[in-house]
């Protein structure tokens, strides 16, 4: 029986979906009194039809052998895909080898999204269309809540900080990580950057509103060592609650 060894790609190679990937290796026939050579090699992916690879015989081998080279187009779907190489000898016997490659789709979320107009105009528009938004809770620190000192009427956290929000794509375990920057603006105050893991329901990359709202617990909190505000691009907030409520337009109307 012939045999096949795949040298390229190696198992677990990250590839771009929808692109071609080169496949290469060695195919060996059989020796003995009646040696058999490898007549053809085909390369397929995920059970699809194989395409013919180019064969280059290796001279002066005790057992007939050849190098093969070809390429296949990797499907665009994220996840693992199986490349299968089949070698067939000159009397029709065949053998196959497989290798798994992985497609990772880069996040479609930008580092920040500029607003279409002044933030003072945008926030009322978001509030007016809140029924079209998706909402979750980020379990922030109590010290970052909206606090009124009665009877003095002081509202410290509602007026002396900025916040910015960013998120990842949906990770392999199904969760989404949110990053919230909290930058104090009073003299001598320090900011921090918080890390939350959302494990609630999603539709593709979109989080879904639940009743009651899903709470994303804080998993890490980095505190600034200086009074310089956190470096995440942020927008001013006139009030905050604990936990913080995050809303953004849903793709479903």
Higher per-residue pLDDT: 207 or 223: 207
Whole-number pLDDT of residue 95? 96
What is 108-146 written as a DSSP string? ---S----SS-HHHHHHHHHHTGGGEEEEEE---GGGS-
**Rounded Cα gap, residues 233 and 218, in angstroms:** 20
Whole-number pLDDT of residue 128? 85
**Rounded Cα gap, residues 54 and 203, in angstroms:** 44
Which neighbouring-strand residues pair with 8?
Answer: 24
Domain holding 161, by residue range, is: 119-249
Q: Residue 129 above 50 pLDDT? A: yes
- Please give the sequence-ordered ranges of beta strands (E in DSSP) within 90-228, or none if there are none: 94-103, 133-138, 148-149, 154-155, 161-167, 176-184, 192-198, 202-203, 206-207, 215-216, 218-223
- Looking at the fold, whether 16 and 71 belong to one and the same domain comes out as yes
Looking at the 3D structure of the chain, how many domains does it have? Answer: 2
**114 in a domain, yes or no?**
no
Whole-number pLDDT of residue 7? 96
Residue 143 pLDDT grade (very low, low, confident, very high; cuts 50, 70, 90): low
Q: Which two tokens stand for residue 97?
A: 């080898």
Task: Phi first, then psi: give them for residue 236, nearest 5 degrees.
Answer: -70, 145
**211 in a domain, yes or no?**
yes
- Looking at the fold, whether 88 and 32 belong to one and the same domain comes out as yes
Q: What percentage of the chain carries pLDDT values higher than 70?
A: 73
Whole-number pLDDT of residue 225? 63
- Looking at the fold, whether 62 and 132 belong to one and the same domain comes out as no
Q: Residue 173 above 70 pLDDT? A: yes
**109 in a domain, yes or no?**
no
Q: Report the length, in residues, of the chain.
A: 253
Q: What percentage of the chain carries pLDDT values higher than 90?
A: 37
- Looking at the fold, whether 94 and 133 belong to one and the same domain comes out as no
**Rounded Cα gap, residues 202 and 215, in angstroms:** 14
**Rounded Cα gap, residues 7 and 187, in angstroms:** 61
> Do residues 166 and 233 touch, judged by C-beta distance below 8 A?
no
Residue among 84, 80, 100 nearest 4 (CA): 84
Full-model pTM: 0.48
CATH code (residue 62): 2.60.40.650
| Max mean pLDDT range (77-81, 112-116, 149-153, 243-247) | 77-81
- Looking at the fold, whether 84 and 159 belong to one and the same domain comes out as no
- Looking at the fold, whether 210 and 156 belong to one and the same domain comes out as yes
The mean pLDDT of 33-56, rounded to a whole number, is 94
Residue 121 pLDDT grade (very low, low, confident, very high; cuts 50, 70, 90): confident
The mean pLDDT of 130-136, rounded to a whole number, is 82
Residue 160 pLDDT grade (very low, low, confident, very high; cuts 50, 70, 90): low
**108 in a domain, yes or no?**
no
**70 in a domain, yes or no?**
yes
- Looking at the fold, whether 96 and 147 belong to one and the same domain comes out as no
Higher per-residue pLDDT: 57 or 230: 57
The mean pLDDT of 145-163, rounded to a whole number, is 54
- Distance of CA 129 to CAs 125, 133, 180, 240, Å? 6, 7, 23, 19
Among 36, 70, 103, residue at a domain's last position: 103
């Amino acid at each position: 029986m012939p045999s096949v060894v795949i040298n390229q790609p190696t198992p677990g190679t990250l590839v771009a979906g929808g692109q071609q990937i080169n496949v290469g290796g060695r195919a060996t026939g059989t020796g003995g009194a009646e040696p058999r050579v490898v007549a053809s090699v085909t390369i397929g992916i995920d059970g699809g039809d194989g395409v013919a690879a180019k064969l280059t015989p290796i001279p002066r081998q005790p057992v007939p052998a050849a190098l093969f080279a070809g390429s296949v187009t990797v499907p665009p779907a994220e996840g693992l895909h199986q490349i299968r190489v089949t070698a067939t000898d000159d009397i029709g016997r065949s053998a196959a080898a497989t290798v798994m490659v992985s497609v990772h789709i880069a996040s479609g979320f930008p580092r920040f999204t500029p607003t279409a107009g002044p933030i003072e105009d945008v926030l009322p528009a978001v509030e007016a269309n809140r029924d079209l938004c998706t909402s979750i809770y980020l379990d922030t620190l109590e010290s970052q809540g909206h606090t009124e000192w009665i009877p003095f009427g002081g509202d410290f956290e509602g007026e002396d900080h900025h916040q910015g929000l960013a998120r990842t794509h949906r990770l392999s375990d199904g969760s989404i990580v949110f990053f919230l920057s909290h930058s104090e603006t009073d003299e001598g105050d320090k900011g921090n950057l918080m890390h939350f893991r959302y494990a609630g329901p999603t539709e593709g990359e979109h989080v879904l509103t639940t009743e009651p709202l899903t709470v994303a617990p804080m998993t890490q909190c980095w505190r600034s060592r200086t009074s310089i505000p956190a470096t995440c691009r942020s927008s001013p907030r006139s009030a905050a609650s604990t936990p913080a409520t995050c809303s953004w337009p849903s793709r479903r109307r």
